[in-house]
Amino acid sequence: MPIRIPNDLPAFKTLLRENIFVMESDRASGQDIRPLKIGIVNLMPTKIETETQLLRLLSNTPLQVDITLIYTETHLPKNTAWDHLHNFYTTFDKVKEQYFDGIFITGAPVEKLEFEEVNYWKELCGIMEWTKSHAFCTVHICWGAFAGLYYHYGIPKKPLSKKMFGVFPHKVNAVNHPLLKGFDDVFFVPHSRYTEVDTADIEIVPELKVLAYSDEAGAYIVSDISNRRIFITGHAEYDRDTLKNEYLRDKEKGLEIEVPKNYFPHDDPSLPPLITWHGHASLMYSNWLNFCVYQETPFDLTDLESL
């Protein structure tokens, strides 16, 4: 939450330049408060696991957040019971006239397909186009990030020679950016993917900036200059055992898979994995809600059309 100080206090301008969460007294006294309206377009087959991970992080705030879970009509998941979808999810067609403070577009296990080969690609393109006028800020995660960078900016994804799999150190590339406020110089994030985007392809787009990166895993957080489109290539939301379960699943399928890096103590899968990323995950999501959404989104969401 913001600190409330007089706008003529000398510290006000200094703190504002540093992106410290301050609010002038005049604005605070007349501020209207309402719940934030957040939609999650869940493309993962394991929908319950993914929604739980995201909701856990979105709840780490004093702000009231209303959640709408959305699934694609053109692809019905095989690993989620219909009763769960029917009771807790809705389709894009039913919410497309609504406005949202924020939208999440998750990853999906379709990385090895060309975007146009994904059976719900046309529907997803419609959703991404809709977010331009009906969502104040959209966060794209993993494959969702690659899809968003491709759709909005024409940036292609590229196959990796082997799966990017493990927990990797990352560095902040944008000091004092609201999303990264409070981050350490080095922080850890899980990755699990077969593709990447070339940082050079991002850097030639003037509207985009790489906010955080890994020497091994590449660009991690990319944002447009308005902070209204954010692309995250890793999985800060992962639980302790998520990478372990993926590793065991791939082993059972007979796939060629290495032990996830920097995850099991001594790289021994028989030992319980260590969590080294939850602190920064929690901080990033609370920063997003507080700084990128709550302080910037219009009170009347129908004003989004004019932004």
Distance CA 264, CA 271 (A): 6
The token duo for 25 is 């007294």
* Torsions phi, psi for 147 (to 5 deg): -65, -45
Q: Percentage helix, strand, coil, to 5, in the chain?
A: 35, 25, 40
197-211 burial, b for 16+ CB within 10 Å, e for fewer? beeebbeeeeebbbb
186-196 and 158-172 as β-strands: parallel, antiparallel, unpaired? antiparallel
Q: Which of 51, 237, 280, 292 is catalytic?
A: 237
- What is the DSSP code (8-state) at residue 299? S
Distance CA 80, CA 71 (A): 11
Residue 102 contacts residue 135 (beta carbons within 8 Å)? yes
142 is catalytic: yes
Distance CA 87, CA 73 (A): 15
51 is catalytic: no
Distance CA 209, CA 203 (A): 7
The token duo for 286 is 């609370």
Q: Which of 111, 235, 280, 292 is catalytic?
A: 235
Residue 208 contacts residue 221 (beta carbons within 8 Å)? no
Q: Where are the alpha helices (DSSP H) in the chain?
A: 10-17, 25-29, 47-58, 82-88, 92-95, 121-134, 143-153, 199-203, 242-252, 278-287
137 is catalytic: no
Q: Which of 111, 134, 137, 142 is catalytic?
A: 142
Distance CA 293, CA 228 (A): 9
- Supply the residues annotated as catalytic: 142, 235, 237
